[in-house]
Amino acid sequence: MLDKRVTSVIEEASILTDAVDVRVDGVQAEVNLLKRVVGRDEDRAPISKVKVPDPKPFGEAEKVSITSMYLTGDVKLWWRTCLSDDASSNRDKIETWAVLKKELKDKFLPCNTSWSARESLWKSKHTGTVRDYVKEFSSLMLDVWNMSEEDKLFNFLSGLQTWAQTELRRQGVKDMLSVITAADRLVDFRVATSCDLEKKKKDSGKEKGKSGKGGRMESLRKRSTRR
């Protein structure tokens, strides 16, 4: 009886082994097929990418024409007057971007803009957040054209609070681009100024006054009730 069971188990194991062998052979055949397909793809020539042509640069006349479309108000009126006057007096037309910028600055930009911007830079101080100071300084610099990189850096750093100056000097910033990028990442640490302390004293005084008045009113109510 035992021999029959052993024989049966051996036969079942043999059948399973044959099935596994067949399965392994099938998987191996699939792997070989995939290898051949991949090998064929590698032998093929690489497909060239489609190159999109670069846009053609705008000519000077096109720059002037496109800019004129966005003029509004008095500037638009001035532009139309220029076109009419140039045509009637045979003057040279404004046909280059450089000439248009110069004409616009001469006509609409105050002559003391750069001086006023420099004065505002000198007065600009870091009193709020660092980001607000960076925005204000960058906006003022748009009207300053002939300031050296060293002077820009000095003006920017001198307007910062002491802790911000120390941190930026520790990072070793050397130019405006790096100093503005580093300053924009600083975590604001607002140092209490004398104005802040004075404001706190006033606020606390007001609170005490209110509490004092409230106490006197309460005592008067109690007295009137007793009577």
Give the total number of structural domains in the chain. Answer: 2
Give the residue from 166, 184, 202 where a domain finishes. 184
Give the residue from 74, 108, 142 where a domain finishes. 108
d(CA 92, CA 84): 12
Same domain, 135 and 94: no
Q: Where are the alpha helices (DSSP H) in the chain?
A: 2-43, 60-69, 73-89, 97-108, 113-123, 130-141, 149-159, 162-171, 176-184, 194-226
| Cα angle value 189/195/199 (rounded, 5°) | 105
Which pLDDT tens digit goes with each residue over 174-214? 888 888 888 888 876 554 444 455 556 666 655 555 555 55
Same domain, 99 and 117: no
pLDDT for residue 1: 58
- Angstrom CA distances, 110 to 104, 136, 138, 216, stand at 11, 20, 19, 62
Same domain, 87 and 125: no
Q: Say whether 204 sits in a helix, a strand or coil.
A: helix
d(CA 31, CA 25): 10
191 found inside a domain? no
Contact 66, 58 (CB under 8 A): yes
In terms of residues, how long is the chain?
Answer: 227
Provide the residue range defining the domain that includes 102: 60-108
pLDDT along the chain (227 residues), means of 10: 64 76 83 77 64 82 88 88 81 86 82 78 87 88 82 88 89 85 74 51 60 56 56
197 found inside a domain? no
Structure tokens at 209: 């006054």
Specify the pTM. 0.43
10 found inside a domain? no
